[in-house]
Structure 1
């Protein structure tokens, strides 16, 4: 926004955002201070979960931040890039079989990134979570599995148990 500077826009998923906070954008690792927070063109004391806010930041150019980045409090477990992650995958409706090497595009929060099924660790019962088979060769519609995923580009994903909105994805 001309004259004001860079105003990223996003949804507050957990915690708060307010002026004076030092925040970090992941996966870029950029840190900056929040100058102000607004919603629907009105200044806010703080943004809370569920709010879609715009926030003015210092010394960060629009070219340095992208859709899918996660902004978090630099002093309190800031979000980080995941080089790989383990995911519980439920195959709802997919023609044929899925094996290691399959690389669909994942939609995780607002990120849209291809991630490779690097390793099928175990097939599990989708209701109970009990292990059915170690190192399955493939999975198909109706199956659930624990899979090691490797993103094709830097991506921020969190543990579902700690931050559900940032630990859920769809293919």
Structure 2
């Protein structure tokens, strides 16, 4: 949103200062949509938030939905309004494995998105800076292979899903 000009530099700098004061300096971008005090204190999204903008070709609404297990109802509310979902998968050792495990959040979110009619999926492989070595291509490919295998079972075509390595 910031890089697309949807929010000015001064506001981001304000969020960065406030986040650093709370010991959460890396959360400055999350705070663009995480407005609740509890969200900022806990470092998680609790409620859905919307951000709308237009391009020359599209009218876009970004829906930030919670991923935390305690707020799955809010995640369903947001996801049910979506045409496309961005599934964020943590690349950290242990973190990815927990998410893709039988009762993991990654599996649950992908299944819910498909069940709710979201047929377009993008997978953001997050925390690539925390892999060993940082930005490990083998780790990215391992995650891509495992997630592809699972999303194929639930109905997505992995060949049509973009996997994007990200950090932050």
TM range (shorter): under 0.3
TM-score (norm 2): 0.23
* More helix as a share of residues: 2
Choose 1 or 2 for highest CA Rg. 1
TM-score (norm 1): 0.23
